[in-house]
Amino acid sequence: MGVMVDGWKRVDVQPIDEWVVGADLGKSVDSTAIAVIHHTVRGTGEDVVDHRLKIRRERTIRRFDLVHLQRLPLGMNYVAQALAIGELMQREPLKSARAKLVIDQSGVGAGVVDLMEANGLRPMRVQITAGSEQTHEGNVYRVAKTILISKLEAAMHSKELHVAAALTEADSLRDELRDFQRHVTASGANTWSARAGKHDDIVLAVSYGIWWATSGAGRFWREELRL
């Protein structure tokens, strides 16, 4: 929100301090991957001045701190997975911060996420689509893979994504990023996928958290929390 002072509009940074958990549910050949991100936005106290428009904007520092990565055991049934994810969501600071859980139901179907809801979880559901659009109905968000990966790429290129060095799956994340490839279809559209025989579950789990934090969906959720 801007404030007029002596004919100038000053725009201060609206601080954000939130936690988001992204989960890419595994199937028979891959494990469920879980990523916990601490998303913060703060102002520096310094201004960027636009003399033509007479606007002073406070400089912004945004961070996505990836503080937890894990893969659940291959073959774990979905009831056990729901219990494991629910236990994680009850840990501090996730519990007190009312962390948002974002789960992909594209590969396993809505029924699996229904089962997780029956076990006490209240996730936002992601349905990965082709194309380049994002729509939603209720708590189901249909999001193009292009959007998910572009937000992850942007956070990496801007150096806003910080991966804790002590994470046991940090090397797996780096390996997946290296094996993650962009393809151009005959129509000229961009698609992304892991190389043959490689995994992309951790990359996608991280992308869900960053997407949620930077999407309109995340903004509306934060507004609800302030009510």
pLDDT at 209 exceeding the cut of 80: yes
Give the per-residue pLDDT at 197.
Answer: 46
Best CA proximity match to 143, nearest among 130, 134, 152, 151: 134
Residue 227 is predicted with a pLDDT of 46
Q: What are phi and psi of 220, to 5 degrees?
A: -65, -35
Write down the pLDDT at residue 20: 97
- Cβ neighbourhood burial of 29 (10 Å; 0-12, 13-18, 19+): exposed
Q: Which residue has the higher pLDDT, 196 or 39?
A: 39
pLDDT number for residue 133: 87
List, in order, residues 6 or more apart from 222 with CB less than 8 Å away.
Answer: 16, 18
Q: Which two tokens stand for residue 150?
A: 């572009």
pLDDT digits (tens, 9 = 90+) for 123-149: 999 999 887 888 988 889 999 988 998
The more confidently predicted of residues 160 and 27 is 160
pTM of the full predicted structure? 0.83
Nearest in space to 202 (alpha carbons), one of 226, 225, 169, 224: 169
Domains and CATH numbers, the chain: 17-40+66-226 (3.30.420.240)
pLDDT band at 196 (very low <50, low <70, confident <90, very high): very low
The predicted pLDDT at position 93 comes to 97
Q: Which residues, listed in sequence order, are joined to residue 141 by a DSSP beta bridge?
A: 126, 136
